Structure 1
Amino acid sequence: MSSLVEYEDDYSLDADPQPNAGKGDDSALQTNLLSIAWQARWLLLLTVLLGVGCAWLYLQRVVPRYTSVSRIYVERSLPQIFASDAQRGTSSSYLYTQAELITSTPVLAAAANAPESSQLETFRSTDNPIGLLKKNLSVQVGKNDDIINVMIELPSAEDAAQIVNSVVDAYISKYAEERRTDTVEVLNILRNEKQRRDAELEQRIEALEKFRGQNAALAVQVGEENVITKRFAALASELDRVELALLDSKARHNRTQQMLESPSLRPFLLELASGQQSVAQDISLENRLQVDLEKQIQDIQLQIDALRATWGDGHTRVKLALQSKAAMEERLAKQLEATEERKKAIVSAYVETVSQEHQLLEQKREELQRSYDKQFKLAMQVNSQAAKLTTLENSLARTVRDVDRVDEQIKGINLTEDVGAMNVSIMEVARASSEPTYPIPARFLAIGALLGGLTGFGLAWLRDLMDHRLKSIEEIAATLQLPVLGALPLSAGKDDRHETGRVVLTHPRSMAAESFRTLRTAIHFGLTRDDAKVIAITSPSPGDGKSVVASNLALTMAQADQRVLLIDADMRKPKQHEVFEIQVEHGLSSVLAERRPADEVIQRTEVDTLDLLPCGSRPTNPVELLNNGYFSELLHELQQKYDKIVIDSPPVMPVADARVISAQTDATILVLRADCSTRRMSVAARDELWRVRAQRIGIVVNAVPGRKQANYSQGYGYGYGNYGHSSGTYGDLAYGEPEPPVDISRRKKSRARSQQLPSPEATSEAMEPLDI
């Protein structure tokens, strides 16, 4: 069941989205696309037929083309160095190279100039046969095999087959049979060069052996070096090392002598001597002994002080303690004297050690110098001989490399002499095709139908995108964020305004009457029964049928045994006196302007429980009359006499009257016209009502076409399909013709095509639309 939304505390113009508003976005989008396609089904059918027709016309005008294919297998002869080597397969890069060679200009030129190709119609009609072949000839290498496919597509099947065969023949003639190289002459030159290099190699070897025999000392080698040279190098390295150590020892010896002669530097000399591990341990032990003696003396002194304080200086215990202290001090003095002697000995030993090391290095340097000088003379004699030996060895190595290079070249010539030869097998000769490969009728017709359908759907989608009208309950609820209370069908007859505004009386069993009763029920339960007594009926713009809705809603409420007052507050274009055929001179305008009592102008209707307060004369200032405060007092006074008060209010957007009235009522019904009310106008009307803090706003959709009942019978609990009236339609005019008139010729035309014949019951109860 639907319910109205109350706005008592927060009247923000930006309505918060519902918690579950986004759950069905995907399904809603799919439904919307299907709906667009269904509504434009005739357009889709037309564009599909046009697409198929265009494809058929293209098929009739296009020149068919035929494809001829020749399949060849290219096998390359590879060398076998050993008998066990297997013939290696053709690499993919080699096949792609052959494919490029087939499409090369020399091959194509040979094919175009072949005698059997010169008379072809294809070549006679072009000035550039090679360019034509490059454009249309295709060569492909098989992905799963090593077969090369040579194909061409031309308007003439015979020409296509002849050209493909000519290209294959030209390729075989130019690259498969003529690829031979003259290797005999090159091989002879290389063999003569090898003989010369071999003779030179023999001479180099003989000269080297003779020189080595004359210089036996050079034959003694250790690794790659001569013994004399290696020994000289070792002596030079050791002499350098000893001289560096001697410089360091001399500096340390001089520094030690200076520190020994200077009393102020002697403690530092002791620290240098203490660097040795054994000396350091001795000094550390003596220091610990000295510390222990000093600690014992301090302890005895503390005892002496304690005994003096207790017994006095002459006591025996004090004397004994003093004797112990004297003995310990004597022992400490001897220990200090021994420590000093030990330190002097350590220093003297260290100085002597440094001096001995210096002298030893001096002697070692002298011995090394004598050996170095002797070995230097020997090395100088060997160097000249070694240089000549190196020259001979390098010459021999260079000659050996030259001989090896010539051998490799001769071997390469022998191995590659037959490599250029290729075995080309024609697996399939090109033949003239009897069936064209382009165009394929089924494919083109399918593509035409697909493009036509896409074009039609695009036009339908564009039309729907540019159409800003509200078309369904879901769209209205999502756009306005307000509940939809009901939907009212189109009228089907030619009755006058009097009959249409009182349809619940004139046609009580009709679908329209039932829809007003459903609306009454929705309002009753949606407004929490009796807490909303004053209800304003308005619409975004003129022509939406709000006056007919107000009159019929008031009648249905009166038929429910309620005292109802219908107020015609549209003081610019009043209509309710025409609906109920009442001649009045005074009405609401008189009550508000002249303070005339309401009872004097309220009119009785043919329904006992329904009274009418007509508009009366049209004032020049209706907004000021409604907003002067007396209108609110009037409504409060009338609520004491009536159960429900229905107010026929002017449209929201053209004038401000509806906003003033809605601000003073308990609920507001906003009437929208199906296939006419736009999103922009409806949202603007809702925002205006929110600005004046209108209470409990609900939506009623008017003038729903019979074929669109399904779109407007979902989302609330009172769909008309549930009452068995879904087969009845009510023509093309709503309750209330738009004012100003709206161009609905296109909709009328489409509705006329889809209109169904009304049932006998509906025909007997036909109604005439009313101009509101």
Structure 2
Amino acid sequence: EPEKPTFEEIVRNFRKNVISVTPKRDTDMIELKVKAYSPSEASFVANTWVDAYRDLNINESRGEISEVVKFLDEKLKDVKKKLTASEDTLRKYKETHQVVELTAETQQLIKQLAQFESLYQEARTDLQANEKRLAYLKAQLSENQRALVDKAAGLSSPAILELQKQMAQLIGDKAAYEAQLKGMGLYAKNDQKLMGMEQRLAGLKKKILEETKKMVAGGITSLNPMQTSETLIDNILQIETENKSLKAKTNVLRRIVMKYSRELNSLPEKSQKLARLEREATVDNNIYMMMRQKYEENRIVEAGKIGSVRVVDYAVPPQYPIKPKKKMNLILGIMVGLGLGIGLTFLREYLDTSLKSMEDVEREGFTVLGSIPIIAPQGRNNHSNKRNGEIKRIESRLVTHFDPKSPISEAYRTLRTNIQYTKVDKSIKSLLVTSAGPAEGKSTSVANLAITFAQMGTKTLLVDADLRCPVLHAIFDLPRQGGLTNVLVQKLSLVEAIKPTRIENLSVLTSGTLPPNPSELLSSNAMEKVLEEMEKDFDMVLFDSPPLIAVTDAAVLATKLDGVVLVIKSGATGRDALLRSRTLLQNVDARLFGIIVNGININNMYGSYYYYYHHYYYGDGKHRKRKGYRELV
């Protein structure tokens, strides 16, 4: 058979699994909750527990504090009457003798005398209050216990006598030092010497109490220890020790008061009479305020100890179980899901350092030459068996040729205009189009930009200077061989290498044979000579180069041209990559005309204007048949 749990185990499990006590925030109330299998059982256990706790609190909260409150209440009435009488006497004396005030020295003397007499009366009041507390505590002891405590209070030893002598001397020194400070007007509670004396005085009190306890230990043991309240006796001994200190303190303060009183008696008769009345009124007022404070403090303590537990609301049988809460669980699930989704969104946005709009670029201190919306691929399958997927995607994005009236074509024409006016004092003959990293749309941008220049009648040359991964030859359906590298190594002349396109005023110089040393070729003297010849034969020369950060080709080529245009992709190019690109161009003294923001969402780009523009062009011409590249030719 399983072993039955003990009573202590049952109580422990009951407290752990059935009862829960929770303090109410910002109040002095507690809330008791009980879990049970039936509503009536839960309310019954809760109410029984509350009643038991209240009864226990009432029995334990009563103490000696009530006696102190009664004593202070009686004393407070007497002091108030005395204060009223002394104030009336002082007022009548001033009115009768036409006296307004005393000399400064006399006022200072009265002030000091009043301070020390107030301290004296305060010590006496504390001593009398302690006597009331002692009487109450001793009344709770048996006859044998009272006899033992009375005997212990009268016990003494050489050690105790020496400690009491030191304590009296220290109290006298402390009072004298306070009188000296107050006479000089330098009294402060945080005075280092006073604080040191307080610490030494507390240490002496503690030693006297310990010695007294040692002496009465044998007597307590001789009594029946089961009937002796150790805590009660400790409290009595502590009060007795405190009373010895207070008696020594009152003796010292009384001597100081008598000293100042003698000085007061030496004043002229008229001044002496007024000074005495002033002193009595001031002392009575100080004593009244002190006793009033002590009375209120003890009343607060009494209220906190006697009958401090009150049942605000008894438990009633609940109508519904506390769990499971289906609606709450559903609501919490929705809220947590929404909160988590929103939080992840904000976190992703915070961690995302990519540049998404023209405003983001301008905030970094760059000039934005133009923004190109996202280009939807054109449905062309003419050469799907000849090109890989990347080439087909780029070829389909020559929107300035296939759809010159689209808003995207207009964006490229705006870009062309902005580039023309970046250098008004001198016409631009050569321009490098590059990007910070791969797949940001530089080849698409330079191809469409070249078409826009050609469309306005400018004799344009598009040079594929990407000697590592060239793509322009595939876009325009031209052979790669016999291009720029062949001209630089003098295998072909520039005229022989330039290939015409089926677009009027546009020629292309392909990359040619891919060399092992592209950057050395681009930085050679032959490149400068070829560039001079290009600028002589063409009105505008556009260069497509590798990404700026990946290799040094673009930086090398940028030093030889009139300027550089940097392409970034919205939502893909990071802020650090853009800043790094500017640093690389500044290191070689290249001139950066501005930034092309590529791939911007057309619906987020200045709102309804672009939406209307897109709808206007594509809505009217959506049934218009578009001809392919070869059909246009």
For normalisation by structure 2, the TM-score amounts to 0.49
For normalisation by structure 1, the TM-score amounts to 0.41
Query: Which structure has the larger Rg over C-alpha atoms?
Result: 1
